Amino acid sequence: MLSTWVQGTNPCTSGWTGVSCNASSSVVTGIAVQYASPLLAVPLPTSVVHVPSLQSINFLGSGLTGTLPAEWSLLTNLRSVQLGSPNSLAGPLPPIWSVLTRLTSLNLGGNQLTSTIPPGYSVLTGLTRLTLAGGRQHRARKLHSGYR
């Protein structure tokens, strides 16, 4: 994805741009590719599921396309997902993401998402910041009381 990301090298010790790691265990905990120039114009990667230690994904304004991958539900350590514009993501919010119970921040603002908030998201009690179409932020109180 980036020129410093060289297959076969350790992202924690090889200076991969936008990758953060746990210092004591050398496992990847975050990926941040913000406001890429030029815009990436590639589908949102599903391959990140191979990094189960991920706590944050930040592709804010990177020009990504496609839909929100249901596969990301396997990333049960996720706390923050930042996918706001100018990305071109479309489709529904994956109902299966309700298993991401550690999420505290979910930014999907400025995309072309087509669904309401799935009822199962009410179990995301740690979610304190939710940004949807047009960059509107919704407080968790509204989400947890059945806001759609």
pTM (predicted TM-score): 0.85
What's the pLDDT score for residue 123?
95
For the stretch 90-114, pLDDT in tens is 999 999 999 999 999 999 998 988 8
Beta sheet of 129-131, edge-to-edge order: 19-21, 28-32, 56-58, 80-82, 105-107, 129-131, 137-138
User: What does the domain layout of the chain look like in residue ranges?
Assistant: 29-144
What the block records as the tokens of 89 is: 């993501």
- CA 100/CA 74 separation, integer angstroms: 8
Distance in angstroms (rounded) separating the CA atoms of residues 146 and 62? 31
Encode pLDDT of 45-88 as tens digits: 899 999 999 999 999 988 899 999 999 999 999 999 999 988 88
CATH superfamily ID and name for 29-144: Ribonuclease Inhibitor (3.80.10.10)
C-alpha–C-alpha distance, residues 120 and 117, integer Å: 8
**Tokens 């994956």 -> residue:** 94
| pLDDT tens-place string over residues 23-48 | 888 899 999 988 877 778 888 889 99
